[in-house]
Structure 1
Amino acid sequence: MMKFAFRSTFVISLLTLLYKATTTDMMVNVCGLLTANKEPVPLQGIQVELEVKDHVATVVSTLNYENKEDKPLEAVFVFPLPGDAAVCHFSAQIGQKQIVAEVKEKQQAREEYDDALSSGQQAFLLEESEQSPDVFSLSVGSLPPGESASIRLEYVTELAVQADEGLRFSLPAVLNPRYQPQGNGGGEGASVQVTSVPASLVPYSLSFSARVSSPRPVSKVESSSSLEPLQYLNPEQTQATVKLAAGHKFDRDVELLIYYKDAHQPTAVVEAGQASAKPGTLMGDPVVMVSLYPEFPQAVMSSVASRGEFVLLLDRSGSMSSHMNSRGTYQTRIDNARDTLLLLLKSLPMGCYFNIYSFGSRYEHIFPQSVEYSQETMEEALKKVKKMGADLGGTEILEALKHIYRQPCIPSQPRQLFVFTDGEVTNTKEVLDLVKKNSGSHRCFSFGIGEGASSALINGLAKEGGGHAQFITGTDRMQLKVMQSLRFALQPAVEKVSITWDVPKGVSVTVLSPLITALFQGQRSLMYAQLSGQSSEAAEGSVTVKYSLAGLPSQNQLHFDLRPAEDTGLTFHRLAARTLIRSLETEEREDGGWRDREVTKKKVVDLSVQSGVSSAFTAFVAVNKGDGEVIQGPLVRRNVPAPMLMKVSGYEFRSHYVDYDDDDADSISSLLQRSHKREFLVARGRPLPTFADDILDMKVNLTSGADDLPCSLDKKNSPKQPRRDPLLQLVSLQEASGCWVLDPALAAALGKTSEEVENSKPASVNQEVWATSLALIWLHGFKMDAQEEWELLAMKAVSWLRAQNASCVTECVEAGNALLGCNVQRDALGL
C-alpha cells in the first residue's frame, strides 16, 4: 500500500497552479456556499406539485424552512424558474397561521420588508431579477430559534411543443453562475447575491409529482430523470399521475416530455373573469386563449428551400468544456457542438450562403462575410471547426450579435441565425432587445446546451427572432434537435400575417399578445385576447389568421364558444397578464424619453398589482403583523445554496493517488469541504481571487497512476475521448454536392476493406455513383433509428444521383445490399 502524504509544499504548488488556471476566466461570477464550514442550512426540503391541463402547467412549490440555531435568521435563496412563468401566488405558513403576500412596487416592497425586520417582525420577500426573468430571490426574515415556516410559491406556464410533438416541461434546479460582461454595471439586478454549490453537495431534498389531464388520451410521459411508472386515473387514459423515482439527485433539471394522442389541434377556450374584479379590466373580463396549429399545403412543404444565408453562432466560453450531463459520462458541450456543426454543414443545400461565428469574451468568424456554400468553403469551415475549443473566456454574446446584424443581408437569401450556447449570461434582456430590434431581417433558432441553460435567453431568442428553441441536456443528441430546427429553417417564411376577429355585436376584442410573425408546420402559437361587453346573440365567435406562404395567400379559421369553460381558474388571465407585462417591459427598455419610460413602467406596476403576477418592477411582500413577541437580537444571514455544475475553464484536477490512510483521507475531505464552503458575492466587477474561488468548480478524481507526489492539471484531455460515432464518420466524408468519393476512408466507415468495396462494384458503374449508393444503403440499413439526423443530407445525395442520369441504380442497390448484408429496396432510397 502506498502512503499518501499531503505535504505543505504540494498544497502551495497546487494553489499556484489553480490560481493560474482560473485568472484568465476571472470575470466569470463563480460563487460558493456562503456559510462557514458545518453551519446548517435552514431550507430542509422542497415539494413540487405539477398539474398539466392540456398544454398549460400550474406548479406549486412548497419550501420547508427550520431554524435549528440558537439565534434568529434571515434566509436568502436565489433560484431559477422558467423564463416565461407567471408567478401568481406567494404565502407563508407559520404554525396555524397563513400570511398571503401582496404584489407591490419593488422599492416599496423592499422598504416594507426592511421595516418589518428592523421592528422585530417576521417578513417574506420574493422578487424577480431585473436582468433575467428566470432568476428569483426569496428572503425569509426573522425566523426565530426552533421555528419552522412553509413557503408556498405558485406559477403557471405554457408548455412548448417539441419537434416530435411532445410537450416539454422543465423544472429548473441548476443555477450556474451567470457571466457579467466587462464594462457592464448591469443595473440593480446584477448585484443579486447568488450562492451555489456543486449539485452533489446540496443539503436539502426534492420531491416531485405530476398530474396530467387532457381531452385526449395521454400516450406517454418521458423524462431525463428516473420516474415511477405512469398511473392512469380513468379508463379513457385522459388523466394520469407520475412521480420522480426515489433517490433523485439535484444534479440536473427535472424535464418531462408529455405526449397526447392527436393532441395538436387548433383550439380557442374562453375563461371567465374574476368575480371581485371590476368589469372592463383585464381580470374582470373574460379572456380567450387561442392555440394555433397550422397545417400548410403539402405541395409547399414537400419542397426544401435551396436558398438562404445560414449564420451559425457557437458559444466557446469556458463553461462549454463541461460535460453534457453532471456525471461526466457523456461528451463535453463543445465536443457535441463540433459534431453537430459537421452534420449541419453537410446538410446545407447547394446554392445557399453561410458563415460561422464563435464567441466568448471576444468573438471570431471563419469568413469576413458569408460565402457561397461549395466544396471548398465547406472544407475550409470544417478544418477550423475541428480546432474550436472552449477557450474564449466568458459568455459575451451581445457584441457578436451586434457584429452579425451589421452585416448586410444577401438579396434573395433569407438569413437564418442558429445560436448554440449554455446561456450563462446576466444581460439577458439587453440581448433579447437587440434580437427583437433586428427581427425583420432574420429568423433565429436557439439551442440551450447542458443543465442550467437560461430558459429566458434560449426561449427569448427564438420568440423575438421568429424561430424555434431547443434544449439539449443529459444524453440528448444535439444533432437530432438541430436537424429538426434546420427543417423549420428550410420551410418557406410566412409573410403578411394578419388576424381578424368575428364576434357578436356588443362584444369587443382587445388583443393582449404581440403580433404573430412566425408560423411553422407542426408548431403551436398561442395568443390571448380580452373580451369586453355582452351580447344577446348567438354565443359564438371566430378568429381568422391570414398569411402568405411561398407567395400564395392562405388562411386558417377557428370557431369558438363565447361561454366560459368550466374549472380553468384564472390561469389564462395570468398568462395573458404575463404576456402583456413582458411586452410593456420591452417597450420600457426601448429608446424613448424618460417620461415615456416612466409612464410605461407605471403601466407594468399597475397591471402586475392588479393581476397578482410578478414583474421586473414589482415584488411579493408579506409581513406577519400578529400579536407575537418581537424578535430580539441581530439577524444572522444564511444563504441557501442552489445546485450548479462543477467546472473551471476546461480544466480538471486529477490526483494520481488511490491508496492512503485514514488521516490522509480526513485531510483531503477537510480540504474539499473548505473549498466548497466559502462566501462569494456575485457583484459588479471582478470576483476576489481566493482558494475557494480557484478550486470550487474543479472535479477531483482519485485515480491510480505515478508514484511521485506532484499532481497534474490537465486541460481538455480528460477524460479519454470516446470512439467517434460511425454515423458521423460516414457523414464527414460526404461532399458538399451530396456525393461520396470511393476511397479507403469510405470503406473503413462502412466496415469493409478497400478491396471488398472495389471488387463488389458493378463494372459499368461510375465510382462516385457506387460510393454514394453504398452510403445511402448503409444509412437505410443500419441507421434508421437516426433517420431525422441524416435525412436532409440523404436528400442531397439522391438529388445528385438523379442528376447523373445513371441507368444502373438497380444494379448498384443489389450489389450494395450483397456487400453490406442489407435488404434495402430501391424505392426506400428515394430512387
Structure 2
Amino acid sequence: MNRVLNENEVVLENVNLHLCHLGTKMNCCGLLTAQKEPVPLKSVEVEVEVRDHVATVVSTLNYENKEDKPLEAVFVFPLPGDAAVCHFSAKIGQTEIVAEVKEKQEAREEYDDALSSGRQAFLLEESDQSPDIFSMSVGSLPPGESASIRLEYVTELAVQADEGLRFCLPAVLNPRYQPRGSEGNPVQVTSVPASLVPYSLSFSARVSSARPVSKVESNCPLDPLQYLNTEQTQATVKLSAGHKFDRDVELLIYYKDAHQPTAVVEAGQASAKPGTLMGDPVVMLSLYPEFAQAVMSSVASCGEFVFLLDRSGSMQGERMKSARDTLLLLLKSLPMGCYFNIISFGDSYEHIFPKSVEYSQQTMEEALKKVEEMEADLGGTEILEPLKHIYSQRCISNQPRQVFVFTDGEVTNTKKVINLVKKNSGSHRCFSFGIGEGASSALISGLAKEGGGHAQFITGTDRMQPKVMQSLRFALQPAVEDISVKWDLPRGVSVTVLSPPITALFQGQRSLVYAQLTGQSSKAAEGCVTVKYSLAGQPSKNKLNFSLKPAEDTGLTVHRLAAQTLIRSLEMEEREHSGEGDGGVKKKVVELSVQSGVSSAFTAFIAVNKGDGEAIQGPLVRRNVPTPMQFQCMMLCESDDFCNAAPCSFDLDDYEEDEGGSEDDEDDYENRFGPGLRGCALGMRNDVAKPKQPPRDPLLQLVSLQKASGCWVLDPALAAALGKTSEEVEKPKPSGQVKQDVWATILALIWLHGFKMDAQEEWDLLAMKAVSWLRTQNAPGVTECVEAGNTLLGCKVPKNVLGL
C-alpha cells in the first residue's frame, strides 16, 4: 500500500479482502469509508414526549451531500413493532415539504418519476416483511445541499414485571434470517460496528403524568432526572454526551400508583367529517383487572408446557448460558402431573421428546441432561416450522397448552409467524421473550398478543430468569375466560370498539381498549365501562366510570393509536384471506391510512419538492446509510440464506495494522467456526484464549439438586451447596422420626429465605412445590427442624415465613 491507513480503514480493508478471498458474502456489503464513499447522514436528534403510558417520538435526521455528484441516500432502520408513523416532512433551506400518505405502489411510482425528472423526493415505507422495519429514501440531494428530515410516530409503552413502563428506541437492526425457499428478498441492511457509524445521536425525553414520576432508568448513561414542578408529575431527562450508538436506547419509567384504571377522551379533528374515525371523539381505556388473592396464590397442577428455544448462531455465548440456566429453573418449577417438551431450533429443529411427556423425576432428568449439552449451533432462525410442528400435535385432554418462545428474533417472515399463532390461538397461550438488542419487537409482541400470552424483553445486563418465571406464574394461573366489555353511555351517544376483543387478562397487566364515540352529549356527561370475565369458575367484573369531556392538549395521539390498532387488525384479516375476495379489506386499510395519516403495510409517505429549481445534471449516485451492528458480524453461507452461524466479536483493539493474516490464522478460525465458516475478521490478530467456565451460581447449584416432587435428599452434593460438610449437615438433624429428605428440604428452604431473598421471584415457585411436598408428608418434628436448621446455617427464618 502506498499510504498509511488509519486503524478503522485497516479493519474495513482487511474485512473486505478476506471475505473476497473466502468467496463468502457478508450482510455489511457496500461498506462505506470516509475517503471513498461518504454517507450524507450527519446526525440524528430524537425528542420523546411520554404522557402516562403513551409516547410521541420526533426524530430529526440531518443530511448533507459533500460530494460533487447528486445523491440518493437510503436508510433502513427499526422502529417499535406497534409504532404508528404519523408525520414525515423534509426541509431544504427554507422550504418545507410535508409528505402525504398514498397507496404504496402509487407512492413508489411518484418517487421514481420525481427522480427521473430531476426533482427532489423523499419516500418512507414499511417493510413488506415486518412492521418494525422502515426504509427511507432521500433522492436527488444536489452537491453541497443539506436536508433535514422530520419523522414522527406514537407508540404504547409496555408494562414490565416490576411495573415500569418500557420505551425502546431501536438503534440496532441485525440482519434478518430468511428461511430457505421463502419468497421475497430480505431487507438489504448495511451494518457496521457502532464505532464506524458516521453520524451522531442526541436524545431527550419529557415525561408527564397525573401521578408523580418516581424514577427513570436506562441501559445507557443518563443525565440526572430534572423535575419541572413541585408535584413531580413532569420531568425531563437526556442521554449523557458521548453515547456510543451501539445498542437500543431503553427507558424504564416508574410512576407512583401506576396500576390505576384510566380513560382519556380525545376530541376529533376539526377539519374531519363527523362520523369518521378522525372526526369523532375517541376514548382510550387503560384497564387493570384485580383478581381475588385466593385465586392468585393458587397454582395449577396441570398444563402442557412447550419450551421453544432459539439455538441459532447469534444466541452463542452468554445468551445461550442464560437460556440453559432458565430452562433449569423452569423444569424444577413445573408441577407434578403436568406435561412438557423442549424444542430447539435454528434452520432446522430438534425435540427432546417426540411429543410432550408427563413430568416426572425420570423425564425431568432426561431433559436436563440434554439441556446441558445445548449449544448455539443450529444455523439460522427458522421459527415457522417448529411452530407448525407444535400445532400439529394433538392437545392433551385437561392439559391447557402453554408455549414459551425464546429468541433473539431476527427473521424476515414475521407476519407469517404471527398469523400462524393467531390461527391456533384457540388451543394455546403463547409467552414470548426477546433476547438482546436487535430482537424484533413486532415478532416478540405479536406472538404474545395474538397468542393470548405475555411478552418480555431481555436486554443489556437484564437477567432472563426473573422475567421468565413471572411469565410461568401467569401460565400457571387459571385462564381468564368469557371476557366481555359492556358500555353504558348517555342517550344519543353510541360506541364503535376499534380494538380486537380482549383474549387474555393477567393480574397487574394492562389492557388497552380504543373506541370511537359518535353523537352529542353534555360536557358534564359521564360514561361507564364494565369488564366481565370468569376466573376459576367464578364470575367477576371491574367497572370504570369516566368523563366524556375531552382531555386538553392531547393532539391526535389517541386517534392515531386507535387508527393503528384498527389498521393492524385489518391487515391480519387481509393476510388470512389472501387471494380470496375482491381486495375490499386492503381498500379499507388504504382509506383508513390516508384518512388518519398513519402508515400501513399497503401505503407509504411520499414528499416531492415541486419547486422551480434547475434539473440536476449527471447520474444519481446511490448511498446506503449503515446502521450500527450489535457487537458481531453475521455471515452468509454459500446459499443466499442468512445462517447467523458464525457471529464473531469485532473489536478494533484485537487487530494489527498489517495486510493480512497467516495460514495459522485461517486454521484457527476454521477450528472455531467449522469448515467454510471463518470469522469476518479473518487474518487479523485474535489471540484471546477461551475463558475458563466460572463456578456455578450457588442458587442454581442448589436448585439443580431438587427432585421433581419438590424435595431435596440429604447427600454430599446438598451439603456442598449449603457450604457445609456432610457431617456438619447430618449431625444437627433432630432425632426421632424425622426423615432425612424432610430435614434436607427444610434446610434448602431456610437457605433460600436466608441468603437469596433478592432472587425470590426466581425460586418462589419451586419453593412452593417443596412446601406442598412437606405438607403431604405429615412429618413430625418440623418445628425442631426449623430451629436446628436456622442454628446450623446462621439464619433467623421463622417457620411461618417458610409457609409451614
Q: What's the counterpart of residue 709 of structure 1?
A: none
Query: Are 2:409 and 1:423 aligned?
Result: yes
In 2, Cα distance between the equivalents of 1:633 and 1:602?
A: 39
Offset of residue 547 of structure 1: 1.1
Tell me if the contact between 1:91 and 1:152 (Cα under 8 Å) persists in the aligned partners.
yes
**1:231-630 superposed matches below 5 A:** 231-321=226-316, 323=317, 332-535=318-521, 539-591=525-577, 593-596=579-582, 598-630=583-615
Query: Are 2:627 and 1:642 aligned?
Result: yes
Secondary structure of residue in 1 paired with 2:714: coil
Q: What's the counterpart of residue 31 of structure 1?
A: 28
Q: Do the aligned partners of residues 452 and 485 (structure 1) sit closer, same or farther apart at CA in structure 2, a change above 3 Å counting?
A: same
Alignment deviations for residues 363-399 of structure 1 (CA, whole Å, 9 cap, x no partner): 1111111111111110011011111111111111001
Could you tell me which amino acid in structure 2 is paired with residue 257 of structure 1?
A: L
Tell me if the contact between 2:524 and 2:549 (Cα under 8 Å) persists in the aligned partners.
no
| Identity rate, percent | 79
In 1, Cα distance between the equivalents of 2:209 and 2:521?
A: 30
Tell me if the contact between 1:18 and 1:694 (Cα under 8 Å) persists in the aligned partners.
no
Q: What's the counterpart of residue 96 of structure 1?
A: 94
Alignment deviations for residues 393-452 of structure 1 (CA, whole Å, 9 cap, x no partner): 111100110110011111111111100000010000000000000001011000001110
Alignment deviations for residues 795-815 of structure 1 (CA, whole Å, 9 cap, x no partner): 111111122112222222222
Alignment deviations for residues 537-586 of structure 1 (CA, whole Å, 9 cap, x no partner): 96111111111111111111111111111111100000000000001101
Q: What's the counterpart of residue 673 of structure 2?
A: none
Offset of residue 172 of structure 1: 0.5
In 1, Cα distance between the equivalents of 2:335 and 2:682?
A: 42
Query: Are 2:767 and 1:770 aligned?
Result: no
Q: Do the aligned partners of residues 818 and 16 (structure 1) sit closer, same or farther apart at CA in structure 2, a change above 3 Å counting?
A: farther
In 2, Cα distance between the equivalents of 1:524 and 1:318?
A: 35
In 2, Cα distance between the equivalents of 1:513 and 1:88?
A: 19
Tell me if the contact between 2:178 and 2:186 (Cα under 8 Å) persists in the aligned partners.
no
Q: What's the counterpart of residue 724 of structure 2?
A: 752
Query: Are 2:189 and 1:204 aligned?
Result: no
In 1, Cα distance between the equivalents of 2:17 and 2:242?
A: 38
Tell me if the contact between 1:336 and 1:478 (Cα under 8 Å) persists in the aligned partners.
yes
Could you tell me which amino acid in structure 1 is paired with residue 589 of structure 2?
A: V
**1:92-131 superposed matches below 5 A:** 92-131=90-129
1:728 to 679, 691, 700: 700
Query: Are 2:792 and 1:819 aligned?
Result: yes
Secondary structure of residue in 2 paired with 1:827: coil
Tell me if the contact between 1:304 and 1:490 (Cα under 8 Å) persists in the aligned partners.
yes
Q: Do the aligned partners of residues 19 and 769 (structure 1) sit closer, same or farther apart at CA in structure 2, a change above 3 Å counting?
A: farther
Q: What's the counterpart of residue 52 of structure 1?
A: 50
Alignment deviations for residues 457-512 of structure 1 (CA, whole Å, 9 cap, x no partner): 00000000000000011111100100011111111111111111111121111111
Could you tell me which amino acid in structure 1 is paired with residue 269 of structure 2?
A: Q
In 1, Cα distance between the equivalents of 2:751 and 2:292?
A: 32
Secondary structure of residue in 2 paired with 1:595: coil
Q: What's the counterpart of residue 657 of structure 2?
A: 665
Tell me if the contact between 2:633 and 2:648 (Cα under 8 Å) persists in the aligned partners.
no
Alignment deviations for residues 761-812 of structure 1 (CA, whole Å, 9 cap, x no partner): 2233321111111111111111111010000001111111122112222222
Secondary structure of residue in 2 paired with 1:520: coil
Could you tell me which amino acid in structure 1 is paired with residue 290 of structure 2?
A: E
Q: Do the aligned partners of residues 735 and 704 (structure 1) sit closer, same or farther apart at CA in structure 2, a change above 3 Å counting?
A: closer
Could you tell me which amino acid in structure 2 is paired with residue 610 of structure 1?
A: Q
Alignment deviations for residues 659-681 of structure 1 (CA, whole Å, 9 cap, x no partner): 99xxx625469xxxxxxxxxxxx
Alignment deviations for residues 614-659 of structure 1 (CA, whole Å, 9 cap, x no partner): 001100010111122222111111100011221455657799x999
Could you tell me which amino acid in structure 1 is paired with residue 428 of structure 2?
A: H
Could you tell me which amino acid in structure 1 is paired with residue 76 of structure 2?
A: V
Could you tell me which amino acid in structure 1 is paired with residue 216 of structure 2?
A: V
Offset of residue 720 of structure 1: 3.4
Unaligned runs of 5+ in 2: 1-13, 635-643, 662-675
In 1, Cα distance between the equivalents of 2:618 and 2:16?
A: 40
Offset of residue 168 of structure 1: 0.6
Tell me if the contact between 1:468 and 1:485 (Cα under 8 Å) persists in the aligned partners.
yes
In 2, Cα distance between the equivalents of 1:37 and 1:382?
A: 51
Could you tell me which amino acid in structure 2 is paired with residue 810 of structure 1?
A: T
In 1, Cα distance between the equivalents of 2:351 and 2:723?
A: 36
Could you tell me which amino acid in structure 2 is paired with residue 84 of structure 1?
A: D
In 1, Cα distance between the equivalents of 2:260 and 2:33?
A: 55
Offset of residue 225 of structure 1: 1.2
Q: Do the aligned partners of residues 288 and 644 (structure 1) sit closer, same or farther apart at CA in structure 2, a change above 3 Å counting?
A: same
Tell me if the contact between 2:313 and 2:645 (Cα under 8 Å) persists in the aligned partners.
yes
Which is worse superposed, 417-426 or 743-752? Answer: 743-752
Alignment deviations for residues 210-264 of structure 1 (CA, whole Å, 9 cap, x no partner): 1110000011111111111111111111111111112211111011111100011
Alignment deviations for residues 124-150 of structure 1 (CA, whole Å, 9 cap, x no partner): 000000110000000011111111111
Offset of residue 193 of structure 1: 2.3
Give the RMSD, CA atoms, in angstroms.
Answer: 2.5
Which is worse superposed, 561-570 or 499-508? Answer: 499-508
Normalising to structure 1: TM-score of the pair? 0.88
In 1, Cα distance between the equivalents of 2:649 and 2:442?
A: 35
Could you tell me which amino acid in structure 2 is paired with residue 255 of structure 1?
A: E
Secondary structure of residue in 2 paired with 1:104: strand
In 2, Cα distance between the equivalents of 1:337 and 1:407?
A: 25
Q: Do the aligned partners of residues 494 and 75 (structure 1) sit closer, same or farther apart at CA in structure 2, a change above 3 Å counting?
A: same
Query: Are 2:762 and 1:789 aligned?
Result: yes
Offset of residue 592 of structure 1: 5.6
Q: Do the aligned partners of residues 540 and 557 (structure 1) sit closer, same or farther apart at CA in structure 2, a change above 3 Å counting?
A: same
In 2, Cα distance between the equivalents of 1:16 and 1:756?
A: 64
Q: Do the aligned partners of residues 538 and 258 (structure 1) sit closer, same or farther apart at CA in structure 2, a change above 3 Å counting?
A: closer
2:777 to 804, 811, 817: 804
Secondary structure of residue in 2 paired with 1:65: strand
In 1, Cα distance between the equivalents of 2:135 and 2:211?
A: 38
In 2, Cα distance between the equivalents of 1:600 and 1:653?
A: 45
Query: Are 2:152 and 1:154 aligned?
Result: yes
Could you tell me which amino acid in structure 2 is paired with residue 282 of structure 1?
A: L
Unaligned runs of 5+ in 1: 1-12, 324-331, 670-690, 706-717
Offset of residue 66 of structure 1: 0.9
Secondary structure of residue in 1 paired with 2:581: helix
Tell me if the contact between 2:212 and 2:256 (Cα under 8 Å) persists in the aligned partners.
yes
